[in-house]
Chain A
Amino acid sequence: MKRNVFGFVMAVALAMPSSAFQNVKMPVDLDKLSERASESVDVTLDSSMLQLASGFLSKDDPEEAQVKKLVSKLRGVYVRSFEFDKEGQYSPGDVEAIRSQLKGPAWSRIVGVKSTRGENSEVYLRKDGDQVGALVVIDAEPKELTVVHIDGPINPEELSELGGHMGIPKMRTHRSDKDQSDPHREKKEQ
């Protein structure tokens, strides 16, 4: 009987898509930072909300049409952004709670920039087969903390097409390719 239960659990676990184990969860402590923040942005859009939002994006507007195309395959978009009046309002542990979820083999850090001024930028990618399955950006500054998680297949070409619109600067893809070739690229700023 015990063997049957174990077999069933194993079968279910194997049948689940690999992405199910690799979902990034926004820690509860992170949401509590909004109480101390002078400005905060909290965006949680799952696939159903993305579909709803996509329905209201205009096909005639070139910018919105591009976002519509990009979003059509996404499973979720999650953003937490906080701005504080003074330094030290969030702890390194708040960032580590996110970072620890990105240490699995599926994730690779393509950019990691640290500065002595306490400004850290990190970009993580998750590969699903040949394509990028998710993207996480962590931007930690003394008075600002931003975590972006885009879940779903993202075509870097589509992302670069989005660049130059909506205040999003144009991406330089050839640089990104170079960055991806070295998954543990880390730079230090003075």
Chain B
Amino acid sequence: MRDFEEELRRALARREPPQDFALRVLAMAGSQSKLTALAQLRLWFCRVPMWQFAPALAALLVMSGGGIYKQHERVAHGQQAKQKLLTAMRIAGSKLHHAQDRVFAIERREMMQ
């Protein structure tokens, strides 16, 4: 009988928890609350009919599509203007040079005479 009492006392004796016990408990509690938030969101999505998102999605698509098209158009316009400018500069430069060359040719001829 005494042995039994001794064993019982030993089994019920106060023991200190491991050092990281508190941290582990807190970590578990945190992940539980995250899961709950995710589950809540999922639940809300399931409850709201999907067609209610359609107008918002359509508006978003139209807006982003319009933005992309405008940007594309601006780039195309800009590239076209750049090409025109370079062409204009080439023609201006070559015609100026042409006029200058003719003046020099005449001057050379006059000097030869």
- A residues contacting B by CB (< 8 A) are 41, 43, 45, 49-50, 52-57, 67, 70-71, 77-79, 81, 111, 113, 115, 119, 121-123, 135, 137, 139, 146, 148, 150, 162-163, 166-169, 171-172, 175-176, 179, 185, 187-189
Contact = CB atoms under 8 A, between A and B. Distances in A.
Interface stretch (B33-41, B54-62, B103-111): B103-111
B-side interface mostly: helix
Contact of A53 (B78, B93, B95, B97): B78
Interface of B: 75, 77-79, 81-82, 84-100, 102-106
A126 to B, nearest CB: 15
B82 A148 contact: no
B7 to A, nearest CB: 86
Contacts of B106: 113, 187-189
Given A79-B87, A167-B94, A123 B99 contact: yes
Contacts of B93: 162-163, 166-169
A159 to B, nearest CB: 8
A56 B103 contact: no
A166 B90 contact: yes
Given A67-B86, A187-B103, A189-B106, A139 B81 contact: no
Contacts, number: 115
Given A53-B82, A55-B78, A67-B85, A146 B103 contact: no
Given A43-B88, A137-B92, A168-B89, A56 B98 contact: no
A67 B89 contact: yes
Contact of B89 (A115, A166, A189): A166
B102 to A, nearest CB: 4
B48 to A, nearest CB: 46
Nearest to A113: B102
B91 to A, nearest CB: 5
Contact of B97 (A70, A150, A168): A168
Given A113-B103, A171-B97, A49 B88 contact: no
Contacts of A169: 93-94, 97
B90 A168 contact: yes
Q: Which 3 A-B pairs have the closest CB atoms?
A: A168-B93, A53-B81, A121-B99
Given A56-B75, A57-B85, 20 more contacts: A43-B85, A43-B88, A45-B81, A50-B85, A53-B84, A53-B85, A67-B89, A78-B88, A113-B102, A121-B99, A121-B102, A146-B95, A148-B91, A162-B93, A166-B89, A167-B93, A172-B100, A175-B104, A188-B106, A189-B106
